[in-house]
Chains A and B, each alone.
Chain A
Amino acid sequence: MLRFLVRRLLQLIPTLGGLSILLFVWLQRLPGGPEYALLPDDATAEQRAQLRRSLGLDQPITVQYLAFLRRILQGDLGTSLNTGRPVTEEFFTRFPATFELAVTAMLIAVTVGVPLGYLAARKRGSVLDFAAVGGSLLGICTPVFFLAFLLKVVFAERLGLFPSAFRLSPGMSRTDLSGFVVLDGLRTGEFDVVRDALLHLALPGLALASIPLAVIVRMTRASVLEVVGEDYVRTANAKGLHPGTVRTRHVMRNAMLPVVTAIGLLTGSLFAGAVLTESVFAFPGVGSFVYAATQGRDYPVLTGFILLIATMYVLINLLVDISYSLLDPRVRAQ
């Protein structure tokens, strides 16, 4: 197990290294380059050259790349052009909100998607199956931001069942321990805050869950269909095992492997989707901040966001690999 972990960790290095090169090249190619952003338009060529020297832009490209890498490793992602504060700091204060939103969406997607996919597979060709498959195709084809607007207009503005914006109702006071509203509320026993926060999470969470939910339903269904046809399931049924045991120990355990991987892969797109969803609900997380960055061409924020997603993606997939080896001992032996 330890060897497995070490090997997986070592494999992260080329992926992240390569990504940093891609990002570096991307930054190099930005229109104008940094000296145009920092100097007034009427600056002389001499002033530009001097600035390039002081920024190290006259150095060989490899030296520049190493300097870039060193800054990233020190956690320095530059300063947001919109707010004038360090990007890392902006992300840290907003991250808990987005994390709570992403977890809500994933919980909705998994708790609804896996049972639905299983039922659709077991009752293949039924109305339920048709509805599940059709619904998930529809979910994939609906633009996330439109769904978010629709939910907001119908459930928040017309029916008034849910709040339409922010993380908490205005005037709601809470003890801030970590920035995670729900967790803090549970720890301090402020259950009115927890309730309010969950109400605020419901609609954006649902909108954000639409695509992962659709993918999980379809994948669980396909995976269960495949496993159910395997010989070992027939054997288990033939030797008279309890149907529940066959379902949990034989079918689900094997059928979950690709679904678990998919959950890991979906997390990256969850954060990209948060950009769309959060901006609709004025949810004060990383997503709405990045939305503002795309409006104002705030490059340091965009670069930082890509690095953040890539790192999370890589770490989550490491977790997926570990959970894989727990679910399937053969992976460890490989």
Chain B
Amino acid sequence: MPTTPSSADRPGAAREGTDAPGAPETPGAPDRNTPLLGRRAARIDRLAELMGEREQGGHGAGIWRTALARLRRSPMAITGAAIVAVFLVVALFSPLLAPYSPTAQTWGAEVFPNRNVFVGPRAENWLGLDNLGRDQFSRMVIGARQTLLVGVVATLVGFGLGAVLGGAAGAAAVLGGRWGRQVDNAVMRVIDMMLALPTLLLAVTIAALIGPSLTTVMIAVGVAQIPIFARLLRGAMLSQGGRDYVLAARALGVRRHRIALTHILPNSLGPVIVQSTLTLATAIIDAAALSYLGLGNPDPAFPEWGTMLADAQRFLSSAPQLAVYPALAIIVTALGFTLLGEAMREALDPKLRR
């Protein structure tokens, strides 16, 4: 890119990057550094930078406390948190909650998919039977655990690798001098390229590489989230890098890796944590899409909502309930995480509140 590293990537550049043409803080003004990715990148940078700003007021803990107080009053946050809480309880205690085995074809003699004979809800099977005569309610409950596993592992993969890349780039840019800015530049070029591909396509590519399994889905969905986390953490670290406390630490002769790890990093994690909540929702939806593409878990021993939904499409005309239950579960769960994440972002962003 033509921008020279010295002008664009010095500490605080995250803020400069987003102010391009419009009013100083037009969201989505193109990042001068990467004009092609303006919108998405700028949005990520904006989140990163905002969390930094909020703490400038001088009362570090106060900002988080007021944000929390605001969250408690927000119906969006309460709805989201309630959905997430129910989902977590069901997922964690699923073996206790499921009345039957999710895989035993106990009532196999009552269901004939080829003759359009399905069994709907009844006293012993609350949600009816699936196409192989298994108890749908038990499958849904156990499926919650698998779905949570997919979401959490995928998010951790994205969070972990993205944080390493973004953290290294950010630390290099802030503390590494001229050489560090070049490292940062190189890392961010790769990240921006990954950001340019639709996440689903990235996930399909990775899934095609390692073959269909639940692990594939988790890795693929997680890797697709790397660029977002990397850019977010780097932006946050850049905006922290110019702070007085960093200058003070440097003046005191604290070692650079120590400044990065114990001073800058803890103060930069806020936006990344908010993003994780949103990523959990994306991961669950993307996992369903990958299952539909046949790249998901082929092992019926562990029902997972995405796989259940994808499998049920075959019977959608004759037994729509088989698809509707997992679909509703996915939508409601994703909605819960999204509401919670958006409410958190809103609580921390004064501009969105007004």
Contact = CB atoms under 8 A, between A and B. Distances in A.
Given A30-B209, A222-B27, A309-B197, A144 B289 contact: yes
B261 interface: no
Given A14-B1, A272-B204, A302-B204, 8 more contacts: A22-B194, A142-B327, A142-B331, A145-B288, A157-B317, A264-B39, A265-B39, A331-B30
A80 to B, nearest CB: 14
Contacts of A31: 209, 211
B205 A306 contact: yes
Contact of B281 (A141, A226, A297): A141
Contact of A272 (B200, B209, B306, B331): B200
B338 A15 contact: no
Q: Is the interface of B mostly helix, strand, loop or mixed?
A: helix
A229 B25 CA distance: 13
Contacts of B327: 142-143, 146
Interface in B21-57: 21-23, 26-30, 32, 35-40
B289 A306 contact: no
A187 to B, nearest CB: 33
B330 interface: yes
B28 A261 contact: yes
Interface in A246-302: 254, 257-258, 261-262, 264-265, 268-269, 271-273, 275-276, 291, 294-295, 297, 299, 302
Contacts of A275: 200, 204, 293
B338 A140 contact: yes
A269 B190 contact: no
B21 A310 contact: no
Central interface residue in B295, B306, B309, B331, by most chain A CB within 10 Å: B331
Contacts of A195: none
Contacts of A305: 201
A3 interface: no
A334 interface: yes
B316 interface: yes
B178 to A, nearest CB: 20
8 contacts: A145-B313, A258-B39, A265-B40, A273-B200, A294-B204, A294-B295, A331-B21, A334-B21
A330 B20 CA distance: 9
Interface string B196-216: 111111001101110100000
Contact of B196 (A19, A140, A294): A19
Given A30-B209, A157-B317, A137 B289 contact: no
Q: Is the interface of A mostly helix, strand, loop or mixed?
A: helix
Contacts of A146: 288, 309, 313, 323, 327, 330
Contacts of B199: 269
B352 interface: yes
B100 interface: no
Interface of B: 1-2, 20-23, 26-30, 32, 35-40, 189-190, 192-194, 196-201, 204-205, 207-209, 211, 281, 285, 288-289, 292-295, 306, 309-310, 313, 316-317, 320, 323, 327, 330-331, 334-335, 338-339, 342, 351-352, 354
A19 B193 contact: yes
Contacts of A226: 23, 26-27, 351
Interface size class of A (residues with CB under 8 A): 35 or more
A321 B30 contact: yes
A128 interface: no
Nearest to B309: A146
B293 A291 contact: yes
A265 B310 CA distance: 28
B288 A143 contact: yes
A29 interface: yes
Contacts of A26: 205, 209
A317 B36 contact: yes
A5 interface: no
A324 B339 CA distance: 32
B39 A262 contact: yes
User: Nearest 8 CB-CB pairs, A to B?
Assistant: A258-B28, A261-B39, A141-B334, A272-B198, A269-B198, A330-B21, A272-B201, A331-B21
A257 B29 contact: yes
A223 interface: yes
A258 B27 contact: yes
Contact of B22 (A144, A157, A254, A291): A254
A286 B285 CA distance: 23
A230 interface: yes
B209 A313 contact: no
Contacts of A264: 39
B198 A268 contact: yes
